[in-house]
Structures are given as structure tokens and as C-alpha cells.
Amino acid sequence: MLGNILIVMTILTGVFTLIMYYYTYKGYANTLSLARNGYYIMTSLVVAASALLLYYILSHQFQYSYVFEYSSKDLSFGLLLSTFFAGQEGSFLLWLLFTALLGIFLIKYLSDDTKKESAFMLVYTLAALFLVILINPLLKNPFAYIWQDPSYLELKYFNPAYYNLPELKGFLAVNKNTGGEFIKIVPELKAALSGLGISMNEFLIQGKGLNPLLQNFWMQIHPPLLFVGFAMTIIPYSFAISAIIRNEYKSWIKESLPWLAAAMMVLGFAIMVGGYWAYGVLGWGGFWGWDPVENSSLVPWIIGVAAIHTMLIQRRTQKTGGTGKYIKTNLVLSILTFVFVIYSTFLTRSGILSEASVHSFVDPGMLTYLFLLGFILTFTILGIGGVLYRWKELKVISNGNEYLLSRESGLIFGAALLIGSAIIITVGTSAPIFGSAVDVKFYNQLNLPIAILITILISLSLFLKWKSTVPKDFLKQISYYMSITAILTTAVVLISPIESLINIIFTFAVLFTITVNVVLLIKTIKVSYINTGGHLAHIGVGVFLLGVLLSGNYTISRQLDLPIGQNVKFNDYQLKFIGHEPIEDGNKFAFNVEVNDGDKIKIASPVMFSSEFNNNVMREPDILEGLSKDFYISPLGFSEGGNSDNSNKVEVVLEKGESVDFNNSKITFSKFSISDEDMSAMLEGKDFEMGADLSVEYKGDVYASNPHIKFTNDGQKIIESIVKPANIKLAVTKIDATGSIDLIIGTLDSKEETGEEQVETLTVEASIKPNINLVWLGVLLITIGFIIAALRRRNELIGRKE
């Protein structure tokens, strides 16, 4: 109740603040202090609501649905903190918290100009108000009680001391198929407990816990960083709309640019922290899979970076007097940066990509879906509509005609290429909305030429002068650096596996960027470090892209069976499985593998365990990090050996359309299979059979397979499917109506079938990832560059104010 009161009061004070800032802008007396105080109170209420939710999590108040769904008493303090933003409700509240706190600094930042502050805060408060409405009791309420939405929960979550109370017998339910016991959570149960003097928190003593994939250090910092970045994108948007409201287009650039640079620094770093988490946890060996939700965060970053470069043109051209050039471009890009953040939220939180992305949240309900859609439309119409409203004035003062050989042209062409990349990614990301999907090749093939052109332009533009450049001088300068780059490219190609022409050109482009910016960095740092931000960021871009090229295209991977005690050759390595051991109080098992590279023997210990959170087998890779390459080993399955007939088997969870490789076969889950008769029987509560249609591709041939389960009142019977040509058998052990199956895949070569004793065998995916550290080094350099650039613009602004 207290949480809901705080949220409702926040909405009311937000509306009050909005009205007072409007009156202030219109010139009403004595309203500015009311507007500011209203915003301070609104922020205080947001902080109080956040603190309250955190208290509920840390004190295990499982009577709140959000706390029950994402936390448990088994989690460490750090992981409990991360459950605050594990679900939609908490992540919206975190975004609101950062937005509200930033507003305090922004009021101080703009306090010397009443008109500017009121116009800016009018827009900024509106954005904060939309966020708080998202978590009101009618939408994504983090303070909802668990009995408000009737459900059945397993008996294991409850205090066994109350199982046999006669007043609670009517709420006990039993699953006829599995025999599992459940408690029906409804308001009547709460009333019955209250009548007995028992609180729900005494009765419900455990929560579901946190998804094992999120129980990682990097996922404790990735979401907060991401939402700080999201919150900061509201700032350039608000500056742009404020400029449109006031019809004044000169000062907003120098005020907005430091915030935009800082926002892109935080957002870019957050995105790559997520990539590092994926690399170290998910087990597929990559850091970027062009997943729609990954892309939806990348697009606003790309647009924001484009906006930084076009803003630099306006700042520079202001020195000759007037408002500067590319005003319309800067307004539109600042607006789109935030609009695409909202679009990212819509894609992630609306459930529209639930079947296309592993990151997407479940369907939040039609009301929330419509509100998110309204969120996008409101701020798109406000922004683009404002530009169109002022179009005549903007057309008069804007002048975008440039000489081809000028720094202005170089920057605007680079920004146009970035926008082109953003459009490509947006089209591919949005494809699932229209019932289709694009392959990873779509992104790679279309973005590669853009990346080449951008990296070349990064360096060429540094030799271009503002306004115009003498062609002879330009060619003389770049020829020296291109000669050095050609030599470096030749050396890299000779010592690396790079062969294709397009990759050689790409290598030349990134080395050209690195070479030019390293030389200019050395010259610049002798004068002042504060001017080195751009060079550092551009070096980082080159290093990052070189790492992407080498690690992405020349990784060596192979699926291996490792019988215990036996050496197995993989490239230049010898691998030996030496046994497994329990870790973390016996909850997980580490499978130890000796990795011998000829000089040293190291131990890799990938992990597998059965998770109670989702009743699935979870797998954690291990990485032996090196200066020039990583050795990456991901566990796939384990056979205990002996006389068991299931040696060499794996257990996997497959979503519809997903595939898994096993024993030189590719198994794909197509769809569920159930006959009309069995469907009728299921609806009538009778015995029925249900299975999965699988396709098994082996040596160019495709075989159909239909393992299924027979459900009866006495339990369930698993019926295997054997594919003899591929020497495998398949069994479905669990069917999830949301679209997945638990599948056991095993070989037919048991002792009974071959007469041979089986030994313990670990099945892994081993990979050698060359130069992956260049990716992380590039990200670090880009981040440092953005920090220095933001500080430089901030210092320029402070100097002008003083």
C-alpha cells in the first residue's frame, strides 16, 4: 500500500511541476520556485519508492509479487541488489530514478536563465512523468501483492509448519499428471491466513530466485549503466525541444553537446559490458549476435554519435557569427536519439519480440503495450512536429552547402554513413514485427562497406580544413600516411589468416585510422591532453574493428568428445578430461580439462548444473585468456559411463526453430505435435499423447523424428524416437506450452549394443579466438576518449558562463 501511495503522489507532483513550469515559461509570477520545489518533491518520492522496493527485496518480503518472482533467500547481497532491475517493473523504476536525479543537476545547470530552464524542464519533466505512469498500480506495478493476480505456486515455497491447517485444505491443488502439489494464491487465501493470525510473509517463505544466467558480476552493472545512458538521452532531446519552443538555436548546442557525449560514453560502455557478459556466460563464444534487443540499444548510440559530429559543425561555424550550420540536422538527430531509446523499450518490454529474441520480456498486457506505443508516438510527434512547425524559420537560418574538400563535408558524410547503418539495423531489428526475420549475414554484409568508408573518413577528415582545403596539400599529407598503412597492412596480412580482398581492404581502413590518429595523438598530447578525446576514441574504433575482424572471421571451433584420461588433439592443443568435482556447496559441478599448448599445461573448468529456477541443465563456459588469443571451452554434455545405456548424451532446451549439433548431426525443433483426438482428450482430462516434430540432418540427408510423452492419470511415459542412420536416440522429457521442450539426445552405442564398456566422457565445444582482446581494448579506448571529449566541452561551456 505504501509503495502505491508513493507512486500516485509522484504522478500528482509530476503533473503539478509540469503545470508550474508551463506557467513560468508563460511569464506568471512566483511559479518558478513552486515548479522547482515540485520537482524536488517528485524526486524525493521516487527515491523513497526505490528505497522501499530495495528494502522489500533485502528483507525478503515475498508477499510482493515482484520480490517473489525475482529474488530468494539463497542469493548473495550483491545478487539481491541486482534483482531490483531483474524484471520490467524494477527496471522502469531504476530508469525513472536516474532520470529524476539527473533533473536535480539540470535545474542547477540552467538556473541562470528562467526561460531556458522552464522550457527545458517542461519537456524533461514530461518524460519523467511518462516513466512514472508506466509503474502506476494499473500498469507495471512493482508493489503489487502476490494474491492480486491469482496463480498456483509449488508447495516448496511455503512454510511446512502450516501445510496441515484445515482452513488451508481448500487451497491445495494436485497436478494429476505429475503429482506435484500447489497452493492457489487468491485474495481468499490471504483472508484465511489473516483469520488465523498468520501473515502472508510467514506463510510464503521463499522466492523463485534470479535466472542463473543473470547471476553474474557483469549483469550487476550492465543494466544500471544502460539505464543511466537511457536517462541521459532525454537531455539532448529536451534541449532540442526547448530550442524549438523558444525559437532560439544558437546556445543549445554548447549546452547539449557535453551531455550528449557523456550519454553516448555511458550507453556505449553499457552495451559492450553486456557483450562481455554474453561472451563469458552464454557459452556460444561471441559477444554480439545481432539479436533484435541488442540492436535496439545500439541504434540510439549510433544516432547519438552521428549527432555529436554534426553538432561539432554547428559549433565551429558559429565562430563566424550566427547560429551555425546543420541546425535542422542536429535537432532531428537529438530527437531521434531519445525516440529510438523509447522504441528500444517498446521492442524489449512489449513482448512483440518474445519469439525472436532471447532478451525480450514476456507480454506485459494490452494496456502496457498501448501505453508504450503512446510513449513513442507522443515524443516522436512532439519532436518531429516541432521541427516541422518551425521549418520556415529553420530554413532561413540554415545553410548546409559545403565545399567537397572541407572538414564540414567529411563530418556530414560520416554522419550520413552512421545513419545509413542505423537504418539497416532498424530494418532488420523490426522485421519480426511484420512476421519475418533477417539472417546475421544481412547485418554483416550491409554494414561492412559502411564500416570501411567510415574508418577511412575518420582519418581523411582530420586532414581537411574548415570551409575548404587545397587538393594538392590534402593529397600530399594523406599519401605519407597511406604509404605507412600499406606497409602495415601487408605485414598484418602476411602473419594472419586474412585472405579475402574485402577483409584486406577492411584491414587497410582500420590501420589507416589507427596510424593517423596515433601520430596526431602524440602531437596533440604535447600541447594539451584535453584535446585528445577524439583521437583516442577514433583509435579505439580502429582497434575494436580490427579485433572484430580477426576474432569474428578466424575463430577455430570444434565439438569434441573427451573420454576421461585420454588426450584429444585440437589444432595445436592437447586436451585431457581429468574428472569432475562439486563446487558451491555441491550445487554445481566443475569439469576439469587439461589444456596443453606445447609449452604450458593449464586447467579449464567449465561448469554444468541442474537449476531449480527453470528445471534445466545450465552450462557455464571457461576461458583461458591470453595476450593474443583466448581458448574458449563450453560444455555440452556429460556421460557417466559404466553399464548405463545413455553414455554420451546431452540434455538441451530447444525453442521452436532452434537447432543443436550432436554427434555430427543437426537436430531442429520444428513444432509441437498433437492429434485432434489427443487434443480433445487433453481438454476432457483424459489420457493423451503429445510430442515434438524434429528434423535430424545427417551427412546431407534429413530424417523426421517424433519423440513424445504419454500423459495419464498415473503419471507420464516418455517414448523415445530412434534415428538409426545418425546413430542417435531422442527423448522429450518436458513440454513447455510457451514454446520449448527439454530434449535428451544420446547415441545408440551402449554396452548392450556394442559389447564395450563405456567410460566417462565430456562433450565440449572448444574454440580458439584470435585477438579477441583487441575488442575489449578498443572499447576501453573509445570510453576514455568520450570521457575526455565530454570534459572538454564542459570546460568550454563553464569558461563561457564565467
pLDDT tens digits, one per residue of 672-697: 888 878 777 776 667 788 889 999 98
Kindly give, in sequence order, each residue whose CB lies less than 8 Å from that of residue 525, ignoring residues fewer than 6 positions away: 532
Tens digit of each residue's pLDDT (9 = 90 or more) over 289-345 = 888 778 888 999 999 999 999 999 888 888 777 788 889 999 999 999 999 999 988
Query: What does the block give as the cell for 143?
Result: 508493489
Report whether pLDDT(624) > 50. Answer: yes
Q: How confident is the model at residue 647 (pLDDT cuts 50, 70, 90)?
A: very low
Q: Using the predicted structure, report yes or no on whether residue 357 has a pLDDT greater than 60.
A: no
**Listed residue (666, 652, 597) closest to 630, CA to CA:** 597
Q: Say how far apart CA 694 and CA 730 lie, in whole Å.
A: 9
b/e burial code for range 467-479 (CB count within 10 A of at least 16 → b) = eebeeeeeeebbe
Report phi then psi at 562, rounded to 5.
Answer: -115, 90
- Mean pLDDT of the residues in the chain: 87
Side by side, which strands form the sheet with 629-639? 556-563, 761-770, 629-639, 622-625
Q: Which residue has the cell 572499447?
A: 779
Helices (H), 560-621: none
pLDDT at 755 over 50: no
C-beta of residue 132 within 8 angstroms of C-beta of residue 39: no
Written as one letter, the residue type at 541 is V
> Is the pLDDT at 194 greater than 80, yes or no?
yes
- Count the neighbouring beta carbons within 10 Å of the beta carbon of residue 329: 21
Q: How far apart are CA 569 and CA 584, in angstroms?
A: 31
Give the mean pLDDT of 461-486. 88
Please check whether residue 330 is in contact with residue 251, taking contact to mean a CB–CB distance below 8 angstroms: no
> Distance of CA 250 to CAs 116, 242, 343, Å?
12, 12, 29
Using pLDDT thresholds of 50, 70 and 90, give the confidence band for residue 595. Answer: very high
Alpha helix ranges (H) inside 554-621? none
CA distance 82 to 161: 31
Q: Please give the full DSSP string across 137-183, using - where no structure is assigned.
A: TTSS-TT-BGGGS-EEEEGGGB-GGGTT-GGGGGGEEE-TTT--EEE
Amino acid at 155: L
Residues with Cβ within 8 Å of residue 713, at least 6 apart in sequence: 176, 177, 687
Report how far residue 5's alpha carbon sits from residue 489's, in angstroms, rounded to the nearest whole number.
64
* CA within 13 Å, CB half, 454: 22
- Distance (Å, rounded) from C-alpha 784 to C-alpha 788? 6
The pLDDT, as a whole number, for residue 359 is: 45
Give burial (CB, 10 Å; 0-12/13-18/19+) of 647: buried
Question: Quick one: cell of 55?
Answer: 528494502
CA distances from 745 to 189, 708, 758 (A): 43, 13, 17
Q: How many helices (H) and strands (E) does the chain have?
A: 22, 23
- What does the DSSP assignment read for 241-296? HHHHHHT--SHHHHHHHHHHHHHHHHHHHHHHHHHHHHHHHTSSS-S----HHHHH
Torsion from C-alpha of 367, 369, 375, 381, nearest 10 degrees: -110
What are the tens digits of pLDDT across the range 10-20?
999 999 999 99
Alpha-carbon distance 615 to 742, whole Å? 9
Is 749:648 a contact under the CB 8 Å cutoff?
A: yes
Q: Answer positive or negative: Cα dihedral of 201, 205, 208, 209.
A: positive
> What is the rounded distance in angstroms from the CA atom of residue 196 to the CA atom of residue 202?
12
Q: Quick one: pLDDT at residue 138?
A: 85
Report, as an integer, the average pLDDT of 43-57.
96
- pLDDT tens digits, one per residue of 239-289: 999 999 999 888 899 899 999 999 999 999 999 999 999 888 877 778 888
**Which pLDDT score, from 0 to 100, does residue 642 have?**
58
Nearest-angstrom CA–CA distance, 760 and 758: 7
Query: Is it the case that residue 645 has pLDDT exceeding 50?
Result: no
CB 507, CB 498: distance < 8 Å: yes
